[in-house]
Amino acid sequence: MELEKHYIPDTLMLEERAKAVMNCIIGMADEDYNYIPFFNANLVEKPAHMTHGDWDFGSSHGRLIDALTLARTMTGETFGEEVEEKYKENLLSFFKEDGMNYRLPEVIVGDPTANMIDQRAVILALTSWYLTTKDPKAKEAADKHVAALKRIAIKEKDVWYYPASEYTEKGWPSKNAVHIRLAPDPASFCGRLMMPLLKYHEATGNQDALELCEFFSALIIHRSGVFNEDGSFNASLAYRSGHFHTRIGTLESLARYAGFTRDASITHFVKKSYDWVLKQCTAFGWTPGDLQEQAYEHETCSLVDLIATGIALAHSGYSEYWGVVERFIRNHLTESQLLDLDWVEQREDKSMDEPGYKTYYKVAERSRGAFAGYSAPNDFACDVNHGRGHTSDLQLCCIGSGTRGLFMGWSNTVTEHNGTVRVNFLLNRGSRWLDVYSYLPHEGRVELKINQDIGNLEIRIPKWAGYNKVRVEREWEGQQRIQTGRDASSWI
Ligand SMILES: [Zn+2]
């Protein structure tokens, strides 16, 4: 008897990409420096090398712990658990009694400081860590951290903010800055922080986290000036020249908060700005770094912010963004992942290394699976005449956020709400309700294998398909029914 064969199309599998990036998340660890991961890599230079940097502490560790948690959820892979343990131990060791996460004094000049951008990655990691393991260590640190974030916020009647980019053990570095109500770039330090705070509130009910979101969203929308009236970014120097990653990250925070509070006015605020951003980037999602000197370099981080904001808007009813986001996932996120390293020259020994700062050791092998740090629209390594020229090929933040981008695609491909199961992205995906087999882009064909009774099933038909031409074949108990999309909408 011949066995029935079911061929799976050889098309994009986000789970495979998540497995690939895990190699690099583990490989970036510096075993000669207490497993603190390297931050940058220069792959163009011969031989290639990786270096440590300012972001080595809460930011890098937070990003990688979050990314590993998401990649393991997608793949079930267990390799590198001992390195993950080191990352977690390190992250917890950077906390001080006051609940804030500090940079180690040996690499920074002067007193230890808690960088406010780092804190966002820290609470994100603790949230994912707690959500998947229910580890009380993660919750204890997170509760203390959120309480600290609330305690140190400068509170006015309608808005809260931070008066500097860094906090110290003795308090804010300048009493005068507090006095004269300085609120440096609220998008970088307050806006982006809302997203993990909201997630932490949803996971644990922590009220401080929600309250911070409430007052930060008021700050961004009503008082900050980060976004201009028409939705465009304020490009002045005080707003980091309209730095895309921190602005779009703020839009993601607001979009999720709007969904949570069911506040359509905030959703509208985000949509206006998102539509402006879509006009600044390529059709496949390459964004400028900012509106000034970084305009020619793109971080994977900004692309993932675009993906996450688009998904949040789609969940709030703007379903046209599902197609935009699928294009970004297929044509840029997965294209920004480094799988072929034949062009990178690596050393097989550590004789050229500068311990605690730089390594040349097996750089190609260790970075396989990474996402681009600063890329040009068509090149992984950016070395254009405009702007700053060649800077970093890998940045650890982008490796972490690239993984989060894969997870966002994977976890939103099939969703269920009140008995309606929706296929939002035409990507391969197994789920308890149904399995999606996608033949795209080789053939305009998608198969759904239904695993259980579904009250209402909807599948998004992409704009380019032409609804009238869509042919739907259903098979059930040997019966076949054929329909066309002639009288259907964009959802069938
Ligand atoms: Zn980045």
CA 446 to ligand 1 center in whole angstroms: 33
Tokens 């390529």 correspond to 282
Is the model's pLDDT at 467 over the cut of 90? no
CA 304 to ligand 1 center in whole angstroms: 9
With beta carbons less than 8 A apart as the criterion, state whether 407 and 427 touch. Answer: no
Strand pairing class (40-42; 49-51): antiparallel
CA dist 243 and 119 (Å) reads 18
Could you tell me the residue ranges of all domains in the chain? Answer: 19-414, 415-492
With beta carbons less than 8 A apart as the criterion, state whether 387 and 241 touch. Answer: no
For ligand 1, a single-atom ion, which residues have Cβ within 5 Å?
A: 299, 301, 395, 397-398
Burial class (CB in 10 A: 0-12, 13-18, 19+), 211: middle
CA 1 to ligand 1 center in whole angstroms: 54
Q: How confident is the model at residue 385 (pLDDT cuts 50, 70, 90)?
A: confident
CA 400 to ligand 1 center in whole angstroms: 8
CA dist 287 and 298 (Å) reads 6
- What does the pLDDT read at residue 492? 60
Q: What is the mean pLDDT of residues 29-51?
A: 97
- pTM, whole model, 2 decimals? 0.96
Question: What is the share, in percent, of the chain residues with pLDDT greater than 70?
Answer: 96
CA 298 to ligand 1 center in whole angstroms: 9
CA dist 193 and 191 (Å) reads 5
How confident is the model over 133-189, as pLDDT tens digits? 999 999 999 999 999 999 999 999 999 999 999 999 999 999 999 999 999 999 999
Q: What is the mean pLDDT of residues 241-270?
A: 98
Non-local CB neighbours of 129 within 8 Å, separated by 6+ positions: 65, 66, 69, 88, 135, 138
Question: What is the share, in percent, of the chain residues with pLDDT greater than 90?
Answer: 87
- What does the pLDDT read at residue 487? 63
CA 386 to ligand 1 center in whole angstroms: 20
How confident is the model over 174-230, as pLDDT tens digits? 999 999 999 999 999 999 999 999 999 999 999 999 999 999 999 999 999 999 999
Burial class (CB in 10 A: 0-12, 13-18, 19+), 217: buried
Is the model's pLDDT at 110 over the cut of 80? no
With beta carbons less than 8 A apart as the criterion, state whether 178 and 128 touch. Answer: no
Phi and psi (nearest 5°) for 235?
A: -95, 5
CA dist 271 and 310 (Å) reads 9
Please tell me whether the peptide bond between 441 and the residue prior to it is cis, using omega within 30 degrees of 0. Answer: yes
With beta carbons less than 8 A apart as the criterion, state whether 489 and 468 touch. Answer: no
CA 441 to ligand 1 center in whole angstroms: 28
**Alpha-carbon distance values, 229 to 225, 233, 241, 313 (Å):** 9, 9, 17, 19
Q: What is the mean pLDDT of residues 406-412?
A: 98
Is the model's pLDDT at 297 over the cut of 80? yes
CA 17 to ligand 1 center in whole angstroms: 18
CA 394 to ligand 1 center in whole angstroms: 8
With beta carbons less than 8 A apart as the criterion, state whether 428 and 438 touch. Answer: yes
Is the model's pLDDT at 489 over the cut of 70? no
CA 25 to ligand 1 center in whole angstroms: 14
Q: What is the mean pLDDT of residues 248-266?
A: 98
Complete edge-to-edge strand list for the sheet that includes strand 420-423? 414-417, 420-423, 456-459
Domain 19-414 belongs to what topology?
Answer: Glycosyltransferase (1.50.10)
Instruction: Quote the mean pLDDT of the chain.
Output: 94
Tokens 């002045």 correspond to 236
CA 21 to ligand 1 center in whole angstroms: 15
> Is the dihedral angle over the CA atoms 99, 105, 111, 117 positive or is it negative?
negative
Q: What is the mean pLDDT of residues 63-72?
A: 98
Q: What is the mean pLDDT of residues 348-373?
A: 97
- What does the pLDDT read at residue 1? 47
- What does the pLDDT read at residue 468? 82
CA 152 to ligand 1 center in whole angstroms: 27
How confident is the model over 78-88, as pLDDT tens digits? 999 999 999 99
How confident is the model over 368-383, as pLDDT tens digits? 999 999 999 899 999 8
CA 448 to ligand 1 center in whole angstroms: 36
CA 392 to ligand 1 center in whole angstroms: 10
**Closest-CA residue to 166 (of 189, 150, 143, 138):** 189
CA 492 to ligand 1 center in whole angstroms: 37
